Structure 1
Amino acid sequence: MKRVLLCLSLLAVVPTAVNAGQRRAPDQSRAREMRREGGPPLRDIQRQWHSRMPGYDYLGSDYDPGQGSYRLKYMRDGSVSWVDVDGRTGREVGRSPQ
C-alpha cells in the first residue's frame, strides 16, 4: 500500500515539473536565438556593467523576451537600482532611479 501511495504522489509531481519547464523555455529559446544573431552573452553584459557600477553590489538579472532586454539589479546603501540593457547590443536603454 505504501508503494502505491508513493507512486501516485510521484505521478502528481511529474506534470507540474514538465509544465514549469515549458513556461521557461520561450525565454531561454529567445536568449539563445539572440546569441546566434550576434548579441553579447549575458555574462559579457554583466562584466561590462560591473565596471560601470562601482560601489554597487550586483543582485542578479531578469530577461524580457518581448523587449529583448535584460534588467540588471544592483544595490548600494540599502537602495536598489536597475539598469535595462538591450540584449542585442549591450547598450543601456533605461535606468531606475536616474
Structure 2
Amino acid sequence: MLTSIFVLSPVAADPRRGEQNEARQDMRAGKVKPLREIEANIVPRMRGMQYLGPEYDPTAQVYRLKFIDRDRVIFVDVDGRTGAVLRQR
C-alpha cells in the first residue's frame, strides 16, 4: 500500500500570507503605496463602521478594505498605486 504525505507550506496553508507577501514585495519595489498609508486615508472616511481588514490583488495591484455597518459588509477597492478609491459597494 502506497501512502502519500503532503506538506503545505505556510503560504499554501494560509492564502492571506501569500497576499501579504505579494503586497509587501510590490510596496518595496515601489509599485504600490504602503497599506498603512491607504488605511490612514480610507478608514477615517468610513465613520461609524467597523474595519474588518484588507485583501490584496497583486495582479490588479488593488487593495480591498472590508468594513461592516450594522448588518451590511462594505467593500472599498483602492488603487494601490495612487490610493484612489476605485469602487465602494
Q: TM-score, normalised by structure 1?
A: 0.68
Q: Aligned-residue CA RMSD in angstroms?
A: 2.5
Cα distance, 1:52–1:31 mapped onto 2, change above 3 Å: same
> Are 1:43 and 2:30 an aligned pair?
no
Q: TM-score, normalised by structure 2?
A: 0.74
1:18-33 residue pairs with structure 2 within 5 A? 20=12, 25=18, 28-29=21-22, 31-33=24-26
Shift of 1:30: 5.2
Distance 1:46 1:26 in 2: 16
CA-to-partner distance for each residue in 1:25-84, whole Å, 9 max, x for gaps?
Answer: 476235422442263200111121111111110001111111110110001111110000
Shift of 1:19: 6.7
Distance 2:39 2:10 in 1: 30
One-letter amino acid of the counterpart of residue 91, structure 1: A
The gaps in structure 2 that reach 5 residues or longer are none
Secondary structure of 1:48's aligned partner: helix
Bigger helix fraction: 1
- Asked if the contact 1:27–1:65 (Cα under 8 Å) also holds between the matched residues in 2, the reply is no
- Asked if the contact 1:31–1:65 (Cα under 8 Å) also holds between the matched residues in 2, the reply is no
What's 1:68 paired with?
A: 61
Percent of residue pairs identical: 36
